[in-house]
Structure 1
């Protein structure tokens, strides 16, 4: 725009130009400041929102921060200019103070909601986990801290505060049992959002894209059938003399099998072990192929991959002929469909339970879903102290180095356990944190023990009965008992459990492995089979299996230590360790901590 001004002094010209400049730019200033104030009032100032706000403020500040007008600007303009100047000067502490003020405001506004959403008042830490809404958010939730309640309340809060519609929220659980429990809890809280396992999510994506739900292969549901298929495949492949020589060499190198002139005996002990190894490797090798890690394996394990790849090819051909898929296909095919835009994700908010067990492949699916929407958010709930599934692909580094994998994040903790006493909490926490790579958490117990929370008894023929009698002396009410062991072979038989149940009708008895006890709780727990060499387990994976799994940790027995922590933290009233003649070093360590603490 051009215009002419004649017959005016310099101050008058400056005055007119300033008026013109203000009138030209004030609309953008006012609209931008209005939008920023709306955001600051109604949304948590997340990493993405603050970055966008800071960019707008920095641009406005170029024109308005140094403005020294002789013109009397309207009060609204002056206020907008002050807002820009203030925000442009914010440091990290100012940002933290503003966020805290917003959190306190929301906690006050939704106090009645958080008192009733899960049927009982939530703790302050639980409420804060719901109110804070960053694009990447990790909630560290120790054993018995009410993580499921937070997952349900978080979804309910997003809907109740009108930050999301029900169809924009997806909740993911590790297994079907956990998903079913989550769905029931959502139903009880009158929250209608989608809750799925990773596999059911993948299956749903595939069904939507392909127009029908694919059939699941019988081979991935039956270990025996899969191993028979591999044995038949090997027999067929051995018709090729070169393959036969390679297989014989592999059996000799890996399992010290004796050389046979008539070809390999596929019923031998060595061949059976190889067949089982191939069966377990099918899933992990397919994942390695998808993740781009198979080439390195082929170089390091040349003979193994030479023998395995034809088996995998035959397995894939079988799936094609039968027009079915396996569990890995559920995830990889879904990822491909999401990445190519053939499936459009309706979810803005993805809430993931048991995040410490997530595998790199499942993480890829989560990232692919988030990448489809600019307004995406990931709320991950997990406990690195309970990461016990590396053998099935779980990668604890996804939790311990969350921001490295998913971007800048807010990390919070639940600080109260409702399951066991402070005494057991202190012992178990100190025990698991002997590994310096575990994330340190400050957790308190809601109840005080009236009797020792951890006791030890000699392992003997009548140890089960005498221990149950001791438990019953602590309560006159019907109670529950978990009998736990590292391996099935140390657990009592179903007949023994039935006999104990008849003898002690007040006690509901369940026998589980340490892994099976994850997520379970009871009034009492009894740990047995705690022999040296059994706990921690000393079985070592084959080198190829180790290479296929997520990278192992440097700290000795890191996952076995977490597994023992899981076993220790199942009982509300008392945990008993049955001590054999040659006890596990974990027993000695735990009892020493009990004495010190």
Structure 2
């Protein structure tokens, strides 16, 4: 059931009814931020039936974008082409398929998702004698740092010593050229080329700003510097209708370039009005209280930010157990799950720092008759015959891709 304006508290209602300008909504977990964001987008559409402008909603996962789309379709009682909900990378993909020809890309470029395929591009540059690369994996890590921080080759002297800088500049430029020649992109280069396109083609930048009159960003605290620089190119700092939802207490993607300082940059660049949503309607009071105590030790936290307030009536218990060994820990988990009725165990979630640890837990569970499933990343087609067809098509699309050729050969050899 969709939430309506009547279900909102005062702060939530203010955010939904916000019209023009820059607004930052500091929203903690379970605060109804998704409802606020979708209600605001639906309201903008309903209040402008004769307009043709579009609303761009940027988030960080395809799943989140789809869930928001379902909510908005329910609120508007129909699908609308005036709302585009997508990830940053999906937005960049569409932009480059339409205008990437200005950078030497064809609209049917393929996307590399495997680091082994990316490293093979560097190895190919080394094998061909084009660039001397001692360690492709290490070079790839440096390239990823450049991508996530939005660093161009010409800016490298600010970060590296002269000799190392020249080598990395050659590797970075060679990698980008190879991607363009083979009509392939990886996730980092999508952001890089999109930013270059908007910086060097003012006409396209103006078109994007004209089409997307309102821009909404969910989970802003997870943006890396490259994504933020891209956002600044499509949202004028003085006149943008920018609606940002964020929580600096939930920066969990620092490994991918996210930084608590990004919110400070946003406040400095856009001077947004700030509305806080401290209410938590999801978590039990015990969880919220412990979270508040932990967060209080964050010295970089905005002291004006209101602590979380629990509104959930669900009872909850937080316990900390210490074990002498991993085997003892597994046994402790088994003893906690065994009393739970089998038809309720699907609500149990076990999180570990690696799949190797989870595999050991599953073995123990199997021995105790506890059904469990390890959730893993979806892989490309597993059937060798289907893989052969798939990589044939990829190779046809990118004839110069050595990685596609190698995978095609590997798939063919597995056909019985």
**Range class of TM-score, shorter chain:** 0.7 to 0.9
Pick closer, same or farther for the CA change 1:493–1:368 going to 2, 3 Å: same
1:28-47 correspondence to structure 2 within 5 Å? none
Partner residue of 1:34? none
Pick closer, same or farther for the CA change 1:325–1:226 going to 2, 3 Å: closer
Pick closer, same or farther for the CA change 1:488–1:363 going to 2, 3 Å: same
| Separation in structure 1 between the aligned mates of residue 285 and residue 152 of structure 2, nearest angstrom | 45
Partner residue of 1:435? 298
CA contact (8 A) 1:173 1:352 kept: yes
Matched, 1:358 2:250: no
| Separation in structure 2 between the aligned mates of residue 485 and residue 289 of structure 1, nearest angstrom | 34
Partner residue of 2:394? none
CA positional deviation for 1:336:
3.9
CA contact (8 A) 1:203 1:213 kept: no
Partner residue of 1:468? 337
Partner residue of 2:281? 418
Q: 2:54 aligns with which of 131, 152, 168?
A: 168
| Separation in structure 1 between the aligned mates of residue 152 and residue 95 of structure 2, nearest angstrom | 18
| Separation in structure 2 between the aligned mates of residue 166 and residue 423 of structure 1, nearest angstrom | 48
Partner residue of 1:130? 16
| Separation in structure 1 between the aligned mates of residue 72 and residue 109 of structure 2, nearest angstrom | 28
| Separation in structure 2 between the aligned mates of residue 326 and residue 236 of structure 1, nearest angstrom | 22
Pick closer, same or farther for the CA change 1:357–1:150 going to 2, 3 Å: same
CA positional deviation for 1:364:
1.9
CA contact (8 A) 2:59 2:88 kept: yes
Q: 1:499 aligns with which of 366, 378, 382?
A: 366
CA positional deviation for 1:510:
6.1
Pick closer, same or farther for the CA change 1:186–1:494 going to 2, 3 Å: farther
Matched, 1:480 2:375: no
Partner residue of 2:113? 221
Pick closer, same or farther for the CA change 1:350–1:469 going to 2, 3 Å: same
Partner residue of 1:318? 178
With the length of structure 1 as denominator, give the TM-score of the two structures. Answer: 0.53
Pick closer, same or farther for the CA change 1:308–1:290 going to 2, 3 Å: closer
Matched, 1:298 2:160: yes
1:155-554 correspondence to structure 2 within 5 Å? 155-162=41-48, 165=51, 167-190=53-76, 192=80, 193-209=83-99, 214-217=107-110, 220-237=112-129, 274-286=135-147, 288-290=150-152, 293-299=155-161, 302-339=162-199, 340-343=202-205, 344-345=207-208, 346-371=211-236, 376-404=240-268, 406-439=269-302, 440-448=305-313, 450=315, 452-456=317-321, 458=323, 460=328, 461-469=330-338, 472=340, 479-493=346-360, 495-496=362-363, 499=366, 503-504=369-370
CA positional deviation for 1:394:
1.7
| Separation in structure 1 between the aligned mates of residue 282 and residue 42 of structure 2, nearest angstrom | 24
Pick closer, same or farther for the CA change 1:199–1:476 going to 2, 3 Å: closer
Partner residue of 1:154? 40
Once the two structures are superposed, residues 7-41 of structure 1 have per-residue CA deviations (whole angstroms, 9 ceiling, x without a partner) of xxxxxxxxxxxxxxxxxxxxxxxxxxxxxxxxxxx
CA contact (8 A) 1:183 1:195 kept: yes
CA contact (8 A) 2:334 2:365 kept: no
Once the two structures are superposed, residues 522-554 of structure 1 have per-residue CA deviations (whole angstroms, 9 ceiling, x without a partner) of xxxxxxxxxxxxxxxxxxxxxxxxxxxxxxxxx
| Separation in structure 1 between the aligned mates of residue 254 and residue 274 of structure 2, nearest angstrom | 23
The structure, 1 or 2, with the larger RCO (C-alpha pairs under 8 Å, 6+ apart) is 2
| Separation in structure 1 between the aligned mates of residue 273 and residue 362 of structure 2, nearest angstrom | 50
CA positional deviation for 1:209:
2.9
SS of 1:189's partner is helix
Greater gyration radius: 1
| Separation in structure 1 between the aligned mates of residue 188 and residue 316 of structure 2, nearest angstrom | 48
Pick closer, same or farther for the CA change 1:455–1:132 going to 2, 3 Å: same
CA contact (8 A) 1:484 1:511 kept: no
CA positional deviation for 1:430:
1.4
Pick closer, same or farther for the CA change 1:388–1:216 going to 2, 3 Å: farther
CA positional deviation for 1:480:
0.5
The CA RMSD measured in Å over matched residues stands at: 3.4
Pick closer, same or farther for the CA change 1:277–1:322 going to 2, 3 Å: same
| Separation in structure 2 between the aligned mates of residue 305 and residue 183 of structure 1, nearest angstrom | 45
| Separation in structure 1 between the aligned mates of residue 174 and residue 67 of structure 2, nearest angstrom | 39
CA contact (8 A) 2:23 2:272 kept: yes
CA positional deviation for 1:497:
8.0
Q: List alignment gaps of at least 5 residues for structure 2.
A: 378-416
Pick closer, same or farther for the CA change 1:425–1:203 going to 2, 3 Å: same
Q: List alignment gaps of at least 5 residues for structure 1.
A: 1-111, 116-120, 248-270, 517-597
CA contact (8 A) 2:248 2:260 kept: yes
| Separation in structure 2 between the aligned mates of residue 133 and residue 329 of structure 1, nearest angstrom | 34
